[in-house]
Every structure is written in C-alpha cells, then in structure tokens.
C-alpha cells in the first residue's frame, strides 16, 4: 500500500509500514483489530487475514465490511489456534493496553512464524521532558489520556522490549522508528532510538 495513499486517507503510518512487511498471500492473524481498518487493507492486498477483538461494536463493523473476525480476549491466550498456524501475528498499538503483555507476546510467537508488534515509546524525549517540567503523566497525540482514564496500563520503552526479547529468547529481525508520522532512519536514530523515537514497530520471530 503506497504511503501517500495512507496519508491521503488520514490513516496512521503504521498501516503502511506493516503492509510493506507482509507478503501477498501470507496468512495473518490481527489481534485487537478494532473496526477492521488494517484488516481490510490486508484483504485488499491479497493477504489472508483474520481478526480478533473484544469489543462487540468492532466485531459488527468488521462483519459489515465482509471481514473474517472473531470476538475474544487476547489476554486469555490463543488456545483455539495451533502452533505455527499463521505466517504472521500482528499486534498494532495494543500491547500497552493488554493486561498480560508478556503472555500475549509468548502466545503470538507460538501461533505465528513471525510477529509484528508496535507501540508508543515511553522513553521518547518529549515524554521525558513533559515529566521533568510538569511533573505529571505525559499527554501527547499518541498518549492523549489522563492518568485515571487511560487504557494504557503497561507502558514500555524500546529498551524494555529489547531486554524482554533477550530474556525470553526471541529474535528481533527488524525495527522501524517513526516521529510525527515520518519514518526515521540512519545511524543516529539507530544509536539513540530509545531517546528520539516516538513510535516503534518490531518484526520478530522465535529462536526455538
């Protein structure tokens, strides 16, 4: 999917990046698929995709778009899905709102040959600056909630995710950073990603 098309429709850059990561004809499970925006793009690209979401209203919207979707709580695991049954399992901007993120990632690695995980980086310099100057939980375009009503219950950083991957024996194959809906590349952002990267997308696979 062309990123200019994504931008013209007012859609998140993450959609374009994730679509580029996944080959046509792949079998994909999209966790926390919402109303099916990314799921529909998978279908349009020729990717065989199925979604899971906990909200009934999202399920209805997906079905209205002719998408394959099931209602379920990913915090309870993916017991209905055999090991290595999907080419990719995707979790886009949802990890930080899960109750058991470690279990969710482990289940993704079991079910998928590769996994795609994206999240806002809580160590981004603007977040740090907000905490330093205002002494309050940060608010931004990607973290717009108050501390008392935020769905983000397990905020994390790029460094946290690298450490989690090492401790849980899975491989990070690719990392893409973005700031203000623009991909950031080069040695500088590779060396200081945890400080200058606002959002990140990881492509991972199991070492087992």
Partners of 170 in beta bridges: 206
State the pLDDT confidence band at 181, using cuts at 50, 70 and 90. low
13 or 131, which is more confident: 131
Return d(Cα 17, Cα 178) in angstroms, integer.
10
HSE-up (13 A, CA, CB side) for residue 113: 7
Q: How do strand 48-53 and strand 69-71 relate by DSSP bridges? A: parallel
- In the structure encoding, which two tokens stand for residue 171, read together? 């491989």
Residue in the structure block whose two tokens are 């935020």 = 150
Burial, 202: exposed, middle or buried (Cβ in 10 Å; 0-12, 13-18, 19+)? buried
Tell me if the pTM is above 0.85: yes
How confident is the model over 24-32, as a mean pLDDT?
A: 96
What is the rounded CA–CA span in Å between residue 28 and residue 38? Answer: 11
> Stretch 53-64: mean pLDDT, rounded?
95
């Amino acid at each position: 999917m062309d990123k200019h098309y994504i931008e013209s429709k007012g859609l998140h850059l993450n959609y374009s990046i994730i679509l580029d990561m996944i080959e046509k004809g792949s079998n994909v499970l999209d966790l926390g698929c919402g109303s099916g925006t990314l799921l529909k793009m998978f279908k349009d690209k020729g990717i065989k995709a199925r979604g899971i979401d906990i909200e009934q209203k999202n399920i209805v919207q997906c079905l209205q778009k002719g998408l394959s979707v099931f209602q379920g709580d990913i915090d309870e695991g993916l017991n209905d899905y055999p090991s290595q049954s999907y080419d990719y399992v995707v979790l886009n901007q949802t990890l930080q709102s899960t109750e058991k993120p470690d279990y969710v990632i482990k289940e993704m690695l079991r079910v998928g040959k590769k996994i795609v995980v994206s999240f806002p980086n809580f160590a981004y310099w603007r977040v740090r600056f907000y905490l330093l100057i205002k002494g309050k939980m940060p608010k931004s375009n990607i973290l717009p909630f108050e501390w008392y009503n935020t769905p983000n219950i397990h905020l994390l950083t790029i460094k946290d995710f690298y450490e989690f991957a090492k401790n849980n024996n899975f491989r990070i194959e690719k990392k893409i950073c973005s700031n203000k809906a623009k991909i950031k590349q080069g040695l500088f952002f590779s060396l200081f990603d945890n400080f200058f990267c606002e959002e990140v997308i990881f492509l991972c696979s199991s070492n087992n």
